[in-house]
Amino acid sequence: MSINSALLAGVSGLTANSAALAAISQNIANVNTVGYKRTAGEFQTVINSQSQGAGYSAGGVLSTARHYTSQNGQLQRTTSSTDLGIAGQGFFVVTEKAENLEVTDSRLFTRAGAFRVDNLGYLKNTAGLYLQGWPVDAEGNITTDPSDLNRLRTINVGSVGGTAEATTRIQLNANIRSSQTVSAEATAAAATPPGADAYDPLTNSMAMWDPETGAGVKPDFELTIPVSDSKGGQRTIAISFLKSTTPNQWYSEIRAVPAGDVVSGAGLANGQIKTGLVAFTQDGRLDVDAMAALGAQALFADPSVASLTFGSSDSAAPGAGQVNWAAGLGIDDQTLSFDLTAATGGLTQYDSASVVQAVLTNGTAFGNLSEVKIDETGFVTAIFDNGVTRRIAQIAIATFPSPDALLQSSGNAYRVSQGSGTYNLKTAGSGGAGTIGSSQLEASTVDLSAEFTGLITTQRAYSASSKIITTADEMLAELISIKR
């Protein structure tokens, strides 16, 4: 009977508009939810099969929810460096637990990037989901895999301890006065045979100089260099110069301060690390050719590749001309490279005051973790208060062929469905994954004006469907009254 079909069509209208109202209510309730994607109720007609000559049978309407998961919200600035937003397509990979993940544990995907560091140091968002990424291996490398979720690990910033870096490079910018008077000890050293109190790097050296007792030879000029060892401890080495009777030539010694910091091999004493001659050209620059001609007598036979090597504290006794760090220090071996021939400075001999313009080293003392930074490519970097930076992990971004078909899950997250297609893990900024914005959060895609407009039209449609039912009821009542 066509009246019955009209009655059922009205019921379907009530049901469909109720579902649409539920979607609108969900949107309005989540207008301030980070990374929320709006849902809309969409209607489609239902047509019944018609029998010839039997009249028309109304089918009604059916409502289905459409999820606009691929629609991106605006990124808004925050004050927390662990707040993350994605500018483009892609989702953060998250899990419901931080540790002991098994293959059977679910992996979820979300755009809600309000992450905080929990009591164990893991990055967790407001829904309690843990951020996943590729960790740094023992050699400081990150190996990414586009298809294996099991290679991901929960990113932990709390396990990063303090760090230090040993000095490996020293750049000197210093001048030695060319008109320096030749000392009596240097003059005696040039005599044949050497005179009394003649300078000798082993028996009467600058390393032996004691201003209180007058022992040893007072340097014409000396500079000190701070050096960080493998544990971040501060060591000091000194470079002393004594003008020779040969023009443009200086005796030089490099020693540790205090002398007990090193163990020296044969030919070295009193903390000496290296001894030899330094030669300059007539225009005041280091004379590379002259030092090469001096050979073993030169402080460095090739100043362009000058370096010092220290054996570790637990090394065997040093050979002739070699040094180790003292056993009591318990530190690793170390090589210091000197930049003595820089075009803008270096070690020079001009007729001006002997002075140190700059001593630049790259080592650092021990430092504690001060903050965590995340760049647009997803690298999580620990920054220490001594200036050292260390990469911890790289955030993984998942993309899908059809993100609108992902299944919704609690906590503003999504699960893979047959319609969405399989995930593809990418690094931020590659393959359409979008870049990561630190100290930014993605706003909800809900437009209140559009939702309130939909609320009005849905209410009117619901009222109209109820009118169908009342009208059909009146017609049925009229039909029943015929019998009376």
Q: Mind listing the pLDDT tens digit for each residue in 448-469?
A: 999 999 999 999 989 998 998 8
Q: Please, which residues bridge with residue 414 across strands?
A: 109, 408
pLDDT, position 238: 95
Q: Alpha-carbon distance 437 to 423, whole Å?
A: 22
Is 484 a residue whose pLDDT tops 70? no
Out of 285-294, 364-373, 394-403, which region has the weakest mean confidence (pLDDT)? 364-373
Q: Alpha-carbon distance 422 to 400, whole Å?
A: 6
Instruction: Tell me which residue of 107, 160, 144 sits closest to 129, measured CA to CA.
Output: 107
Phi-psi domain of 303 (left: phi exceeds 0; alpha: psi -120 through 50; beta: other): alpha
User: Quick one: average pLDDT of 370-384?
Assistant: 87
Is 1 a residue whose pLDDT tops 60? no
Q: pLDDT-based confidence at 255, cuts 50/70/90? A: very high
The answer to pTM > 0.95 is no
229-248 pLDDT, tens digit per residue, is 988 888 999 999 999 999 99
pLDDT, position 223: 93
Q: Alpha-carbon distance 89 to 245, whole Å?
A: 74
pLDDT, position 158: 76
Max CA separation in the chain (angstroms): 151
Instruction: Tell me which residue of 240, 276, 275, 238 sits closest to 257, measured CA to CA.
Output: 238
Compare 231 and 364 and report the one with higher pLDDT: 231
Is 411 a residue whose pLDDT tops 60? yes
* CA quadruple 173, 267, 276, 182: dihedral sign: positive
User: Quick one: average pLDDT of 134-153?
Assistant: 83
**In the chain, where the domains are located:** 2-68+445-481, 79-161+369-442, 163-367
Residue that has been written with the tokens 């460095």 in this structure: 300
Q: pLDDT-based confidence at 432, cuts 50/70/90? A: confident
162-215 pLDDT, tens digit per residue, is 677 889 999 989 999 999 999 999 999 999 888 889 999 999 999 999 989 889
pLDDT, position 162: 67
Superfamily of domain 163-367 in the CATH hierarchy: Flagellar hook protein FlgE (2.60.98.20)
Q: pLDDT-based confidence at 430, cuts 50/70/90? A: confident
Q: Between the CA of residue 298 and those of 171, 192, 275, 278, 333, what are the distances in Å?
A: 19, 21, 8, 6, 24
48-67 pLDDT, tens digit per residue, is 877 676 678 788 888 888 88
Q: Alpha-carbon distance 280 to 283, whole Å?
A: 8
The vertex-173 CA angle with 169 and 179, nearest 5°, equals 140
